């Protein structure tokens, strides 16, 4: 029986690998055809997506900044689970007012990591949790999201991270809630001075002035920030091409001895598809192969996970939020509200009276 199960797992891993290779070939073919057409016409050509269900064309570039739907998929999220899956966090817990917690959200480009950081941080701030967000991404995405607030305090923002590295907490107040503050700095092209900061001082100073510190990370963020987090929320969507980047990251973290029990998996932008959240977690993210597939290495399973559904209505809300510099939760669909509520409970236990956010 065990041999049959192992054979089935190997077969599913091989199928995932085959699909990754096929998607990569399709993507390269599309890029080559687009380039050749551009050269032939000596001008710009708009790509044509003839099959709206083709993940390598229709979803690529859209399903990670926020939300977009696959045709025929409704608002209700579709979950696939087994007895060992941890989908929810159980009862919502009341925590002491002096409780301190540091969590990190990390993911590759355009999987919606900053979106989740923003929504969770804003929600908890409205519920009375004094929350700070530490922007440790290379492109400083939160500087641009809260551009209205940062431009008004450009003198503070310019020195915000260097001050924090020297033990001086001078964050920017952002959003509508008085409980939400941001530590970021002005993006400076290709310059990356994150490794020059005193990482321990940065985190210790930032968390003094809040109950919850959320660190927004990418795969280039120095590991010292992840090591200081009590929990690490790894964000991934259903795109198999980006799964390879995530597996490379996990292999690197494994080789550096990262505490695996800290990891929580967030499957963002879930849609009804043959590639399910369960397959991503159990197969696509559990086996590392080198680019030439000459050897493979098993990656330890992430036990705790949660899914966040995708819907076009929510995408339009987030687009408006980027323009306004704040998030209007009332316009989100109920499935997304409930998913963010569950995720927020995983991040920070809070007392809750109703099932929905503001229902």
Name the β-bridge partners of 181.
132, 173
Distance CA 118, CA 142 (A): 8
| Look-up of token digits 């932008």 | 269
Least confident of 1-5, 175-179, 257-261, 338-342: 1-5
Confidence of residue 233 (pLDDT cuts 50, 70, 90): very high
Instruction: State the pLDDT at residue 94.
Output: 58
Question: Are 277 and 267 contacting, i.e. CB atoms less than 8 angstroms apart?
Answer: yes
Instruction: State the pLDDT at residue 145.
Output: 80
pLDDT at 55 over 70: no
177 or 110, greater pLDDT: 110
| Look-up of token digits 């930032």 | 206
89 or 174, greater pLDDT: 174
| Look-up of token digits 């409205």 | 126
Model confidence pLDDT, tens digit, residues 178-214: 899 999 888 876 677 788 889 999 999 999 989 999 9
CA 218 to chain centre: 9
41 or 66, greater pLDDT: 41
What's the token pair of residue 143?
Answer: 């500087």
Confidence of residue 3 (pLDDT cuts 50, 70, 90): low
Contacts of 202 (CB under 8 A, 6+ apart): 134, 161, 164, 165, 225
Mean pLDDT of the residues in the chain: 75
Instruction: State the pLDDT at residue 37.
Output: 44
Contacts of 26 (CB under 8 A, 6+ apart): 54, 56, 57
Percent of the chain with pLDDT over 90: 36
49 or 90, greater pLDDT: 90
Domains of the chain with bracketed CATH: 2-48 (no CATH), 101-347 (3.40.50.300)
CA 56 to chain centre: 20
57 or 41, greater pLDDT: 41
Distance CA 227, CA 248 (A): 18
Instruction: State the pLDDT at residue 154.
Output: 87
Model confidence pLDDT, tens digit, residues 234-248: 999 999 889 999 999
Instruction: State the pLDDT at residue 259.
Output: 94
Instruction: State the pLDDT at residue 45.
Output: 34
pLDDT at 61 over 80: no
Instruction: State the pLDDT at residue 92.
Output: 46
Instruction: State the pLDDT at residue 52.
Output: 30
Three-state secondary structure of the chain: CHHHHHHHHHHHHHHHHHHHHHHHHHHHHHHHHHHHHHHHHCCCCCCCCCCCCCHHHHHCCCCCCCCCCCCCCCCCCCCCCCCCCECCCCCCCCCCCCCCEEEEEECCCCCCHHHHHHHHHHHHHHCCCCEEEEECCCCCHHHHHCHHHHHHCHHHHHHHHHHHHCCCCCCEECCCCCCEEEECCCCCCCCCCHHHCCHHHHHHHHHHCCCEEEEEECCCCCHHHHHHCCEEEEEECCCHHHHHHHHHHHHHHHHCCCCHHHEEEEEEEECCCCCCHHHHHHHHCCEEECCCCCCEEECCCCCEEEEEECCHHHHHHHHHHHHHCCCCHHHCCHHHHHHHHHHHHHHCCCCCCCCCCCC
Instruction: State the pLDDT at residue 60.
Output: 31
Percent of the chain with pLDDT over 70: 69
Model confidence pLDDT, tens digit, residues 102-142: 999 999 988 999 999 999 999 999 888 999 999 999 888 88
Instruction: State the pLDDT at residue 171.
Output: 92
Instruction: State the pLDDT at residue 297.
Output: 83
Distance CA 58, CA 68 (A): 10
Distances in whole angstroms, Cα of residue 249 to Cα of each of 16, 56, 180, 198, 234: 18, 22, 30, 23, 10
Confidence of residue 1 (pLDDT cuts 50, 70, 90): low
Instruction: State the pLDDT at residue 20.
Output: 61
Per-residue buried b or exposed e for 113-131, using 16+ beta carbons within 10 Å of the residue's own CB: bbbbbbbbbbbbbbbebbb
143 or 234, greater pLDDT: 234
Confidence of residue 70 (pLDDT cuts 50, 70, 90): very low
Strands 180-183, 287-289: pairing kind: unpaired
């Amino acid at each position: 029986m065990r041999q049959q199960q192992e054979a089935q797992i190997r077969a599913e891993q091989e199928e995932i690998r085959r699909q990754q290779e096929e998607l990569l070939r399709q993507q390269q073919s599309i890029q080559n055809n687009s380039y050749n057409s551009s050269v032939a016409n000596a001008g710009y050509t708009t790509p044509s997506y003839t099959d709206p269900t083709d993940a390598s064309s229709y979803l690529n570039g859209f399903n990670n900044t926020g939300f977009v739907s696959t045709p025929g998929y409704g608002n209700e999220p579709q979950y696939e689970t087994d007895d060992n899956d941890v989908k929810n966090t159980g009862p919502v817990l009341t925590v002491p007012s002096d409780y301190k917690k540091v969590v990190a959200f990390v993911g590759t480009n355009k999987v919606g990591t900053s979106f989740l950081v923003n929504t969770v941080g804003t929600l908890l701030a409205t519920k009375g949790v004094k929350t700070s967000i530490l922007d440790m991404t290379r492109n400083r995405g939160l500087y641009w999201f809260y551009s209205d607030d940062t431009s008004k305090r450009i003198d503070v923002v310019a020195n915000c991270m260097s001050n924090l590295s020297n033990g001086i907490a001078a964050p920017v107040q952002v959003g509508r809630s008085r409980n939400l503050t941001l530590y970021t700095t002005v993006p400076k092209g290709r310059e990356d001075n994150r490794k020059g900061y005193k990482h321990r001082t940065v985190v210790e100073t930032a968390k003094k002035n809040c109950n919850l510190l959320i660190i927004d990370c990418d795969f280039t963020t120095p590991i010292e920030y992840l090591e200081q987090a009590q929990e690490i929320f790894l964000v991934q969507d259903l795109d198999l091409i980006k799964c390879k980047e995530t597996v490379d990251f996990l292999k690197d973290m494994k080789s550096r001895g990262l505490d695996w029990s800290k990891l929580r998996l967030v499957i963002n932008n879930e849609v009804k598809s043959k590639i399910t959240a369960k397959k991503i977690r159990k197969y696509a993210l559990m086996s590392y192969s080198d680019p030439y597939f000459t050897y493979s290495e098993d990656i330890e399973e992430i036990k705790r996970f949660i899914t966040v559904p995708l819907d076009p209505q929510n995408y339009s809300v987030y687009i408006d939020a980027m323009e306004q510099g704040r998030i209007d939760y009332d316009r989100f669909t109920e499935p997304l509200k409930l998913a963010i509520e569950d995720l927020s409970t995983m991040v920070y236990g809070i007392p809750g009276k109703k099932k929905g956010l503001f229902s």
